[in-house]
Structure 1
Protein backbone atom coordinates (compact mmCIF):
# COMPACT_ATOMS: atom_id res chain seq x y z
CA UNK A 1 0.00 0.00 0.00
CA UNK A 2 2.80 2.41 0.89
CA UNK A 3 4.64 1.52 -2.34
CA UNK A 4 1.52 2.32 -4.35
CA UNK A 5 1.14 5.69 -2.60
CA UNK A 6 4.80 6.52 -3.27
CA UNK A 7 4.35 5.63 -6.94
CA UNK A 8 1.26 7.85 -7.18
CA UNK A 9 3.15 10.67 -5.43
CA UNK A 10 6.09 10.36 -7.87
CA UNK A 11 3.73 10.38 -10.86
CA UNK A 12 2.02 13.46 -9.43
CA UNK A 13 5.35 15.27 -9.04
CA UNK A 14 6.38 14.37 -12.61
CA UNK A 15 3.11 15.76 -13.96
CA UNK A 16 3.63 18.97 -12.00
CA UNK A 17 7.12 19.31 -13.51
CA UNK A 18 5.74 18.74 -17.02
CA UNK A 19 3.04 21.36 -16.51
CA UNK A 20 5.59 23.80 -15.12
CA UNK A 21 7.85 23.28 -18.14
CA UNK A 22 4.94 23.80 -20.56
CA UNK A 23 3.91 26.97 -18.75
CA UNK A 24 7.43 28.32 -18.96
CA UNK A 25 7.60 27.52 -22.68
CA UNK A 26 4.31 29.28 -23.35
CA UNK A 27 5.40 32.32 -21.35
CA UNK A 28 8.68 32.52 -23.25
CA UNK A 29 6.88 32.24 -26.58
CA UNK A 30 4.49 35.05 -25.66
CA UNK A 31 7.42 37.18 -24.50
CA UNK A 32 9.17 36.60 -27.82
CA UNK A 33 6.07 37.59 -29.79
CA UNK A 34 5.68 40.75 -27.71
CA UNK A 35 9.32 41.72 -28.22
CA UNK A 36 9.05 41.11 -31.98
CA UNK A 37 5.98 43.34 -32.20
CA UNK A 38 7.72 46.10 -30.23
CA UNK A 39 10.80 45.85 -32.45
CA UNK A 40 8.68 46.05 -35.60
CA UNK A 41 6.83 49.11 -34.29
CA UNK A 42 10.12 50.79 -33.35
CA UNK A 43 11.52 50.07 -36.82
CA UNK A 44 8.42 51.56 -38.44
CA UNK A 45 8.74 54.71 -36.34
CA UNK A 46 12.43 55.06 -37.20
CA UNK A 47 11.77 54.50 -40.90
CA UNK A 48 9.04 57.13 -40.83
CA UNK A 49 11.33 59.60 -39.08
CA UNK A 50 14.12 58.93 -41.57
CA UNK A 51 11.71 59.34 -44.49
CA UNK A 52 10.58 62.71 -43.16
CA UNK A 53 14.20 63.81 -42.71
CA UNK A 54 15.14 62.76 -46.25
CA UNK A 55 12.05 64.44 -47.66
CA UNK A 56 12.86 67.64 -45.80
CA UNK A 57 16.47 67.53 -46.99
CA UNK A 58 15.31 66.93 -50.55
CA UNK A 59 13.01 69.94 -50.44
CA UNK A 60 15.74 72.14 -48.98
CA UNK A 61 18.31 71.04 -51.52
CA UNK A 62 15.89 71.50 -54.41
CA UNK A 63 15.58 75.15 -53.48
CA UNK A 64 19.27 75.67 -52.69
CA UNK A 65 21.02 73.76 -55.48
CA UNK A 66 20.11 74.54 -59.05
CA UNK A 67 21.03 73.01 -62.37
CA UNK A 68 22.04 69.52 -63.36
CA UNK A 69 23.78 68.76 -60.04
CA UNK A 70 20.67 69.82 -58.15
CA UNK A 71 18.57 67.44 -60.22
CA UNK A 72 21.00 64.57 -59.52
CA UNK A 73 20.99 65.27 -55.80
CA UNK A 74 17.20 65.49 -55.79
CA UNK A 75 16.95 62.21 -57.71
CA UNK A 76 19.30 60.49 -55.26
CA UNK A 77 17.31 61.68 -52.25
CA UNK A 78 14.05 60.70 -53.92
CA UNK A 79 15.44 57.22 -54.52
CA UNK A 80 16.42 56.91 -50.85
CA UNK A 81 12.99 58.15 -49.82
CA UNK A 82 11.30 55.47 -51.95
CA UNK A 83 13.62 52.86 -50.48
CA UNK A 84 12.57 53.90 -46.97
CA UNK A 85 8.91 53.65 -47.93
CA UNK A 86 9.39 50.09 -49.17
CA UNK A 87 11.34 49.21 -46.02
Structure 2
Protein backbone atom coordinates (compact mmCIF):
# COMPACT_ATOMS: atom_id res chain seq x y z
CA UNK A 1 0.00 0.00 0.00
CA UNK A 2 2.81 2.39 0.89
CA UNK A 3 4.49 1.56 -2.40
CA UNK A 4 1.32 2.45 -4.32
CA UNK A 5 1.16 5.81 -2.53
CA UNK A 6 4.80 6.48 -3.38
CA UNK A 7 4.12 5.66 -7.03
CA UNK A 8 1.14 8.04 -7.01
CA UNK A 9 3.27 10.76 -5.43
CA UNK A 10 5.99 10.30 -8.06
CA UNK A 11 3.38 10.43 -10.83
CA UNK A 12 1.88 13.57 -9.31
CA UNK A 13 5.33 15.22 -9.08
CA UNK A 14 6.11 14.30 -12.68
CA UNK A 15 2.81 15.74 -13.91
CA UNK A 16 3.36 18.85 -11.79
CA UNK A 17 6.79 19.38 -13.37
CA UNK A 18 5.31 18.95 -16.86
CA UNK A 19 2.66 21.56 -16.07
CA UNK A 20 5.27 23.98 -14.73
CA UNK A 21 7.40 23.55 -17.86
CA UNK A 22 4.40 24.14 -20.13
CA UNK A 23 3.49 27.24 -18.15
CA UNK A 24 7.03 28.60 -18.45
CA UNK A 25 7.03 27.86 -22.16
CA UNK A 26 3.75 29.70 -22.66
CA UNK A 27 5.05 32.68 -20.68
CA UNK A 28 8.17 32.86 -22.83
CA UNK A 29 6.07 32.69 -25.99
CA UNK A 30 3.94 35.62 -24.78
CA UNK A 31 7.05 37.60 -23.81
CA UNK A 32 8.57 36.89 -27.22
CA UNK A 33 5.38 37.94 -29.01
CA UNK A 34 5.22 41.18 -27.03
CA UNK A 35 8.86 41.93 -27.82
CA UNK A 36 8.28 41.16 -31.50
CA UNK A 37 5.29 43.50 -31.58
CA UNK A 38 7.31 46.24 -29.91
CA UNK A 39 10.19 45.85 -32.38
CA UNK A 40 7.82 45.87 -35.37
CA UNK A 41 6.13 49.02 -34.11
CA UNK A 42 9.46 50.76 -33.54
CA UNK A 43 10.62 49.66 -37.00
CA UNK A 44 7.51 51.10 -38.64
CA UNK A 45 8.02 54.39 -36.84
CA UNK A 46 11.68 54.52 -37.90
CA UNK A 47 10.78 53.76 -41.53
CA UNK A 48 8.12 56.46 -41.46
CA UNK A 49 10.66 58.99 -40.14
CA UNK A 50 13.24 57.90 -42.75
CA UNK A 51 10.70 58.18 -45.54
CA UNK A 52 9.74 61.68 -44.38
CA UNK A 53 13.41 62.62 -44.25
CA UNK A 54 14.00 61.32 -47.79
CA UNK A 55 10.96 63.18 -49.02
CA UNK A 56 12.03 66.46 -47.43
CA UNK A 57 15.61 66.09 -48.64
CA UNK A 58 14.42 65.28 -52.14
CA UNK A 59 12.18 68.33 -52.15
CA UNK A 60 14.98 70.62 -50.96
CA UNK A 61 17.43 69.19 -53.48
CA UNK A 62 14.92 69.60 -56.29
CA UNK A 63 14.75 73.29 -55.46
CA UNK A 64 18.49 73.74 -54.90
CA UNK A 65 20.00 71.66 -57.69
CA UNK A 66 18.80 72.35 -61.21
CA UNK A 67 19.38 70.55 -64.47
CA UNK A 68 20.04 66.92 -65.33
CA UNK A 69 22.06 66.19 -62.16
CA UNK A 70 19.27 67.54 -59.93
CA UNK A 71 16.75 65.35 -61.73
CA UNK A 72 18.92 62.24 -61.23
CA UNK A 73 19.45 62.99 -57.55
CA UNK A 74 15.73 63.42 -56.90
CA UNK A 75 15.01 60.17 -58.81
CA UNK A 76 17.42 58.30 -56.53
CA UNK A 77 15.73 59.71 -53.43
CA UNK A 78 12.29 58.84 -54.78
CA UNK A 79 13.44 55.26 -55.42
CA UNK A 80 14.70 55.05 -51.84
CA UNK A 81 11.30 56.26 -50.60
CA UNK A 82 9.65 53.48 -52.60
CA UNK A 83 12.06 50.91 -51.18
CA UNK A 84 11.22 52.03 -47.64
CA UNK A 85 7.51 52.00 -48.36
CA UNK A 86 7.63 48.46 -49.75
CA UNK A 87 9.98 47.11 -47.07
> Which residue of structure 1 aligns with residue 16 of structure 2?
16
TM-score by length of 1: 0.96
Which 5+ residue runs of structure 1 have no aligned equivalent?
Answer: none
The runs of at least 4 consecutive aligned structure 1 residues that moved more than 2 Å come to none
RMSD of equivalent CA atoms: 0.7
Instruction: Give the paired residue count.
Output: 87
Give the aligned partner of residue 67 of structure 2: 67
**TM-score w.r.t. length of structure 2:** 0.96
2:55 is aligned to: 55
Matched with 1:83 is 83
| Structure 2 segments unaligned to the other structure (5+ residues) | none
